[in-house]
Amino acid sequence: MGKLYLVPTPIGNLNDMTFRAIEVLKTVELVLAEDTRTSGKLLKHFAIATPMQSHHMHNEHQTVAHLVMKMASGQDIALISDAGTPAISDPGFLLTRACLEAGIEVECLPGATAFVPALVNSGLPNDRFVFEGFLPLKKGRQTRLEQLAEETRTMVFYESPHKLLKTLSQFVVYFGSERRVSVSRELTKLHEETVRGTLKEVLDYFEKKSPKGEFVLVVSGTAT
């Protein structure tokens, strides 16, 4: 019986790759990559010659059964995403569930993920928090925001640059302009930046400075 390894990869700075992650990727029979072109650069950088196969949100439903069969026959397989930890707003859940249902061992290595440093350096309470990832694009978005308006825990969101202003504007409407927020972008990269303040202050900032990079938004919960 083989094994599934979930292997985090750097979210920007290649020095965040762990020795253990490199060792696992070198010793498994196959690496499943969200984008083989992106991951190919990573593997080449660390002299990893393991064969790769594409595994992303558009094909995972079709490939899971075959991959489970490979592991059941004795192959060890590693799953990586383009950046960060697999299954955190990336593919990974379906394969993990299928492996566990088939009695195949699953091991997740510790490593990089964007929301943890953004939460820790936000200055907002992090003893209790809720990770929301990406909000629904259309259907259910308003309902979710109405529900979250009553959330008392710190909330963590992911957002793309072209939707940042829309999301911050909606937060002002549903959470109030004085709610505290910390917005981090390009974490671990050369142009890493964190902007903290009220929702209105941070919205004003990014209305004047065009949003670039991938964003993590950390929003305080409502006062109890």
Residue 121 lies in a domain: yes
In this structure, the number of other CB atoms found within 10 A of the CB of residue 215 comes to: 25
Give the model's pLDDT for residue 64: 92
pLDDT at 59 over 80: no
pLDDT classification of 224: cutoffs 50, 70, 90: low
pLDDT classification of 223: cutoffs 50, 70, 90: confident
Same domain flag for 57 and 9: yes
Give the model's pLDDT for residue 217: 98
Domain tally, the chain: 2
Same domain flag for 181 and 213: yes
Same domain flag for 102 and 21: yes
Q: How far apart are CA 75 and CA 131, in angstroms?
A: 33
Residue 193 lies in a domain: yes
pLDDT at 80 over 70: yes
Same domain flag for 93 and 126: no
Place of tokens 């694009």: 137
Among the listed residues 116, 98, 114, the one whose alpha carbon sits nearest the alpha carbon of residue 160: 114
- pLDDT tens digit sequence for 134-191: 999 888 999 999 999 999 999 999 999 999 999 999 999 999 999 999 999 999 999 9
Give the Å distances, CA to CA, from 28 to 8, 37, 38, 57, 82. Answer: 15, 19, 19, 22, 18
Same domain flag for 135 and 76: no
What share of the chain in percent tops pLDDT 70?
100
Domain boundary among 108, 143, 169: 108
DSSP secondary structure string for all residues of 73-106: TT--EEEE-SSB-TTSSSS-HHHHHHHHHTT-EE
Same domain flag for 77 and 122: no
pLDDT at 103 over 90: yes
Q: What is the mean pLDDT of residues 31-54?
A: 95
Give the model's pLDDT for residue 79: 97
Same domain flag for 84 and 121: no
CATH assignment at residue 85: 3.40.1010.10
CATH assignment at residue 124: 3.30.950.10
User: Residue 104 belongs to what domain range?
Assistant: 3-108
Crossing angle of the two packed helices 164-175 and 199-208, in degrees rounded to 10 = 160
- pLDDT tens digit sequence for 7-36: 999 999 999 999 999 999 999 999 999 999
